[in-house]
Amino acid sequence: MIRYYCPYCNPKYQFQKQSSKGNLICGLCGEDLVKKPFIRLNQIIALVAASSLLLPLIYTFIFLIKNQINPPNKNYQAKSTSIIITKETLL
């Protein structure tokens, strides 16, 4: 549904009339009504700004939950095969 509005009148008191030419006019002041766009530029900018703040937070929570379900291996000891290889290279 395409919405029309009068840029000069209060939105509470607006009502639409049709002129003799078939154009929609404001019932209060008689000005032509303007189409209201479905998505405005400031809505796009607000969406980009909100997503730039929320996506890192969501990303952090996903990895926090993932690490709680499958904790990473915390065995930091050197493997015996790597010790043998380093001893052979030194001799």
- Report field, pTM of the whole predicted structure over 0.95: no
Establish if 19 belongs to a structural domain.
yes
What's the distance, CA 81 to chain centroid?
Answer: 50
Range of the domain at 15: 3-36
Establish if 80 belongs to a structural domain.
no
Domain count for the chain: 1
Which pLDDT tens digit goes with each residue over 14-53? 777 787 777 888 888 888 888 888 888 999 999 999 999 9
What is the pLDDT at residue 48? 96
**Is the torsion defined by CA of 39, 41, 45, 48 positive or negative?**
positive
